[in-house]
A and B are shown apart, each in its own frame.
Chain A
Amino acid sequence: MWDFIVERRDDIIFNTYQHASLVAQAVLLATVIAVLLAVVVVRVPALAGVANVVSAIGLTLPAFALIGLLLPLTSIGVVTGFVAVTFYAILPILRNAVVGLQQVDETLLESARGMGMGQLASLWRVRIPLAWPVILAGIRTSTQMSMGIAAIAAYVKGPGLGDYIFAGLVRIGGANAVNYAVVGTVGIILVALVADALLLLLGRASISKGIRAA
């Protein structure tokens, strides 16, 4: 096992980086989309129920099914993986962002307006910072989920560590099959744990001091 890793270390590092980078980019895009959607949803209360239902139905959709649906549109390769991961990453963030933005105390928004803030300023400087801890929790869930979805996307030549898992699968019974599968699986677990730790740190750094718990 050790030799296997040492021999392929460059390749493994490259794939690890690819995996992390795919998830990071997808989650970043998903965060932007989800928060924008949430801002709209919060303004139109009738949409809140719809957003919940869409998000619940979307999360029910199996990843492999979405890949099957996407393939005719995006063909084999990185794009399919990226779109699939982004799609799933949006849902938990959207749900949390809606809840987080709704929870902001109306009186605070009133005071922001009283201080002369416009709609945008009060959104950017009051509402989003107050909702941020909840949004960030959604981002953590999304990131965790995305790791596994990116692994499945490797089946249609998405980038990343999932490749090793499928490389192990086709070699089953042969040399190195277990090595491949273990490197892929454990690698993804490690990337997931590191990503989660980084997001926790991000929370420390970015959550407004006034609302930080203890």
Chain B
Amino acid sequence: MTDLADPPQETVARHEPLDGPGEAVPERGARSRLDRSTLLMLVVPPILVAIVFAGYVWWRQTADLDGVEQSQLAWDSTWSALWRHVELTLAASALVVVIAVPLGILLTRGRARLLSPLVVGIANIGQAAPAVGLIVLLAMWRGYGFWTAVIALVLYGVLPVLRNTITGLQGVDPTLVEAGRGLGMSNGAVLLKVELPLAVPVIMSGVRTALVLVVGTATLATFVGAGGLGAIIDTGITLYRFRVMVAGAVLVALLALLIEWLGRLLELLTRPKGL
């Protein structure tokens, strides 16, 4: 009885699109990693989200809610909480990329290279800080509001992208960099045309991790008056209304799943063709 999973190369090598320039040797690289579980993760979440959301809408329209529940789960306030949550997530994630990728690049250049273990070490310790604590402390320093929450989310989301940018760039085969130089490319050109494209898959997987962290942590934004879907859960807990808190929790979970799925899609779409 062989209870080891069948080797993955069988499952995919066939789907390899022959769009690479020149020789199309089907290397076991990026695209062939479109194996069963990756495929499942691309297909299952949107379907799940659609079904559960349809269920929620049906429940919301037919359930016998009392006055408090009616007003807490009114559609317009639900939409604005949802939209606020999306704004928090996107603003923080965009800032994370803008900060972490250049910083990661910087930390793999020249002498700054020596600093990278230190920075990653500090970031690692920072990651041990509980998100609630971070967000509350920032609120004490900067006051309540949208940007306070965004700053906390950025602090929280920077690490995975920074770490993956550094790992991704360090993982680039030095002979390829050498080859780029040999072709007469400047340092900047080597970075833009050789190193970054090769590191993109690793960086993007960090971005997806950050997206998931940020969308989840944004639930806590309500504690510092920045709204979001966490507010619905919070109200449900404060009023001790099960329906309200569960409704909020379901909506947050759906949004998080959708964002994770978008991250995966982004990961797949940004993958350079040659890989």
Which A positions have Cβ atoms within 8 angstroms of B?
Answer: 42-45, 48-49, 52-53, 56-57, 59-69, 71-72, 102, 106, 144, 147-148, 151-152, 155-156, 162, 165-166, 168-169, 172, 177-178, 181-182, 184-185, 188-189, 192-193, 196
Contacts and interface: CB of A to CB of B under 8 A. Distances in A.
A106 B245 contact: no
Contacts, number: 153
B3 A61 contact: no
Given A43-B3, A64-B230, A147 B130 contact: yes
Given A71-B237, A102-B5, A106-B4, A177 B140 contact: yes
Interface string B108-136: 00000000000000000101111111101
Which of B41, B132, B223, B253 gathers most chain A CB within 10 Å? B132
Contacts of A106: 2, 4
Contacts of B245: 68-69, 71-72
B44 A65 contact: no
Contacts of A182: 137
A71 B219 CA distance: 16
B128 A181 contact: no
A87 B198 CA distance: 36
Contact of A185 (B4, B130, B257): B130
B223 to A, nearest CB: 6
Interface residues of B, number: 47
Interface in B1-27: 2-6
Contact of B5 (A48, A148, A185, A196): A48
Interface of A, helix, strand, loop or mixed by DSSP = helix
A155 B40 CA distance: 35
Contact of B130 (A42, A61, A151, A172): A151
List the 5 closest pairs (A to B, CB-CB), nearest first.
Answer: A185-B133, A68-B249, A62-B216, A151-B130, A192-B128
Nearest to B138: A181
Contacts of A102: 4-5
B40 A53 contact: yes
A181 B134 CA distance: 9
Given A65-B253, A156-B237, A193-B125, A53 B41 contact: yes
A45 B37 contact: no
Contacts of A44: 3
Given A53-B41, A68-B252, 18 more contacts: A48-B5, A49-B37, A60-B256, A62-B230, A63-B216, A68-B248, A69-B250, A106-B4, A152-B130, A152-B220, A162-B130, A169-B139, A177-B140, A182-B137, A184-B133, A185-B133, A185-B134, A189-B129
B56 interface: no
A84 B223 CA distance: 20
B3 A72 contact: no
Given A68-B245, A72-B242, A177-B140, A193 B128 contact: yes
Nearest to B252: A65
Contacts of B129: 148, 185, 188-189
